[in-house]
Structure 1
Amino acid sequence: MQKPQRDITLRFLAEPQDVNFGGKVHGGAVMKWIDLAAYACAAGWSGRYCVTAYAGGIRFVAPIHVGNLVEVEAKVIYTGSSSMHIALEVCASDPKSLNKRLTTHCIVIMVAVDESGEKVQVPKWQPETEKDIKQHDTAIKLMDMRKIISEEMEIFTD
């Protein structure tokens, strides 16, 4: 059996239709690219169709300009029974210089599902390096924090 693919990088050029009224790539376009990379990463790990369950901690660090070469790097940092926590970084560069700069980063949780939309088991990911262990532990801390935030947000629901 082939080992699941833990990470993936999508690369493309930012196009004029991606620009907002301020002349920079729209945050919504960046979020779409993040979701696409998270899906490709989760599907590669699980071998299944996956759906987005959560996207959070998104930080827009620097703008992306039309014509920039954009790289969206995604990697599994934690697995539950059916969920995969994916860490994402978006970098951009002028394609002539290739000096990459971080523009955005976040965490997305994807869930593997079957043909009827029911959750299915995913392969367990085990951290190997010191960096893997730190990211894995951070994913667990973030889960605990999301539970608290979710409880606090209940005031806004009917």
Structure 2
Amino acid sequence: MSERQREITLRFLAEPTDVNFGGKVHGGAVMKWIDQAGYACAVGWSGQYCVTAYVGGIRFLKPIPIGHMVEVNARVIYTGRTSMHVAVNVRAADPRGGDRTHTTHCVIIFVAVNSNGEPVPVSSWTPETEEDRAQEQYARRLMELRKSIEEEMQQYQA
């Protein structure tokens, strides 16, 4: 892969097989789409196979009706030595017309690995715009919050 790709958008039609007991798209189906878009974004940036290391703060803002066109946008917002923070936003709209509704948001951390599953360095990303700088700061704040959460969770892990 010669050129790094920082962002990708995947589109899915919410099918009847994606339905939950409430008649909307099952959260697990949305999480699968999020992971697929995040993975494609991480691979596009790193040029390496990537594994999901962390999915944090997933927010289901609105349900997705069956039959709606779902757009999953993934964008690198921070890079570490071997990791990439990817912000994922899901929007959905009736394909017959109407505005897209923001339905879900989260940040996923992927790690680039070699054929032995060992972490390998990734190209660093440098923010260029005010929006980029704000997103990088968002990723950094989440890292700090995650440390506190992990410390708290340690008390309850077997």
- Same fold by TM-score, threshold 0.5 exceeded? yes
- Matched position secondary structure for 2:121: coil
Provide the TM-score with structure 1 as the length reference.
0.98
Cα separation, partners in 2 of 1:96 and 1:132, compared to 1, 3 Å: same
Identity over aligned pairs, percent: 62
The corresponding residue for 1:27 is 27
The corresponding residue for 2:16 is 16
The corresponding residue for 2:79 is 79
State whether structure 2 residue 145 is matched by structure 1 residue 145: yes
**Matched residues in 1 for 2:105 and 2:138: separation?**
14
Q: How far 1:138 sits from its partner (Å)? A: 1.2
**Matched residues in 2 for 1:105 and 1:85: separation?**
13
**Matched residues in 1 for 2:144 and 2:105: separation?**
20
State whether structure 2 residue 34 is matched by structure 1 residue 56: no
**Matched residues in 1 for 2:12 and 2:18: separation?**
12
Q: How far 1:98 sits from its partner (Å)? A: 4.5
- Matched position secondary structure for 1:156: coil
Cα RMSD for the two superposed structures = 1.0
Structure 1: 4+ residue segments shifted above 6 A: none
- Matched position secondary structure for 2:146: helix
- Matched position secondary structure for 1:139: helix
Task: Could you tell me which runs of 5 or more consecutive residues in structure 2 were left unpaired when the two chains were aligned.
Answer: none
**Matched residues in 2 for 1:109 and 1:21: separation?**
30
Q: How far 1:23 sits from its partner (Å)? A: 0.4
State whether structure 2 residue 123 is matched by structure 1 residue 119: no
The corresponding residue for 2:44 is 44
The residue identity in structure 2 corresponding to 1:77 is I
Task: Could you tell me which runs of 5 or more consecutive residues in structure 1 were left unpaired when the two chains were aligned.
Answer: none
Provide the TM-score with structure 2 as the length reference.
0.98
The corresponding residue for 2:106 is 106
The residue identity in structure 1 corresponding to 2:141 is K
Q: How far 1:3 sits from its partner (Å)? A: 3.2
Cα separation, partners in 2 of 1:98 and 1:115, compared to 1, 3 Å: farther
**Matched residues in 2 for 1:83 and 1:103: separation?**
26
The corresponding residue for 1:6 is 6
- Tell me the matched-pair count: 158
